[in-house]
Amino acid sequence: MATNPQNLKPIDSHGPERAREIRQMGARAKNEKARRNKNLRDAFRAMQEVEIPTKSGDTTTASDAIALAVMQKAVKGDMKAIEFLWEALYGKTQKVDVTSSDGSMSPAKIDLSGLSREDLKAVTREALMRKVQAQDGSA
């Protein structure tokens, strides 16, 4: 917010020529920012399939590594990671009840031991792709 809002003048009070110049400057700035954001999105999309080495000596894609990292954080109870995965898998929700069956706020115990690493990667990759597709549709 401006320090002295009383000093702000409506654009139209500058006269038609100056008002047009101000609007054009704003449009140019907006378009430049959109170009920078598009370039950044394109760079990230290009990098998501880059093969990177793992600690075990194998390779994986950057997308899979990110998906696994998010899933690991979610499993450890990181609420931001849980929210991200939930939105990616099921879309944005209005309200989520996080209480356990006894009414407490203790974390729910979820047994993921039956899922293989590949299953976890597939689930998180699918969720991330849905998230990207949803963002592409709204951009």
Report the run of H or E that residue 21 belongs to, with start and end: helix 16-47
Has this prediction a pTM greater than 0.85? Answer: no
Domain ranges of the chain: 8-44, 61-138
Residues 90/139, Cβ–Cβ less than 8 Å:
no
Q: So what's the pLDDT on residue 107?
A: 58
SS (H, E, C) 65-123: HHHHHHHHHHHCCCHHHHHHHHHHHHCCCCCCCCCCCCCCCCCCCCCCCCCCHHHHHHH
The distance of Cα 85 from the centroid of its chain, to the nearest Å, equals 10
Render pLDDT for 45-101 as a digit per residue (tens, 0 to 9): 888 888 888 888 889 888 888 888 999 999 998 889 988 888 888 777 655 555 666
Cα gap 85→67, rounded to integer Å: 9
User: Given pLDDT bands bounded at 50, 70 and 90, which one contains residue 106?
Assistant: low
